[in-house]
Amino acid sequence: MPGAPAVFNEQAQPQLQMNLTQNVQRIGENAYEVVLGITLTCKANDKPMYLAEVKQAGVFGLSGFEAAVLDGMLGTQCPNVLYPYARQLVSDLVQAGGFPPFVMQPINFEVLYAEGLRQRASQQAEGQLGSETAGSA
């Protein structure tokens, strides 16, 4: 809690910002470590009230899947398993700091994964277009 204890005297409406990250690392032939990171920042009058950061990790054994299906499993199903634990940890941290409970809503990781695929495809298309333009000059 930067600015404590004065932060408890703030009368402004708090502004919350949540950032979500995911990291996947292959740790064996059929084993993957998936790390789901959640950073919750609360500010009032542009002054930080609190920062809660949690990284929840799990090791998942996955075999027999095609590459695209495996990527989808690591990007959707694994975070779905980890999220309830990370959500509880964030809630506990905020409440233990003396702030009102913060209940994180469920997250649709399938939609986030699909958006990530669209962004990657768009970046690849732009990269190919840029290299074709550079090659024709």
Which of these, 128, 43, 50, lies nearest to 96 by C-alpha position? 50
pLDDT averaged over every residue in the chain: 86
Q: What type of residue sits at position 40?
A: L
- Output the CA–CA distances (angstroms, integers) from residue 83 to 20, 31, 37, 43, 56, in the order listed: 10, 19, 9, 24, 8
Strand order in the sheet with 31-44: 15-26, 31-44, 47-61
Q: Which domains does the chain have, with CATH numbers?
A: 6-106 (3.10.420.10)
Share of the chain above pLDDT 90, in %: 55
Q: Given pLDDT bands bounded at 50, 70 and 90, which one contains residue 1?
A: low
At residue 137, the pLDDT reads 43
Q: How far apart are CA 51 and CA 39, in angstroms?
A: 7
At residue 34, the pLDDT reads 97
How far from the centroid of its chain's Cα atoms is residue 124's Cα? 23
Share of the chain above pLDDT 70, in %: 85
pTM above 0.75, yes or no: yes
pLDDT in tens, 44-73: 888 888 889 999 999 999 999 999 999 999
Most confident of 12-16, 55-59, 61-65, 130-134: 55-59
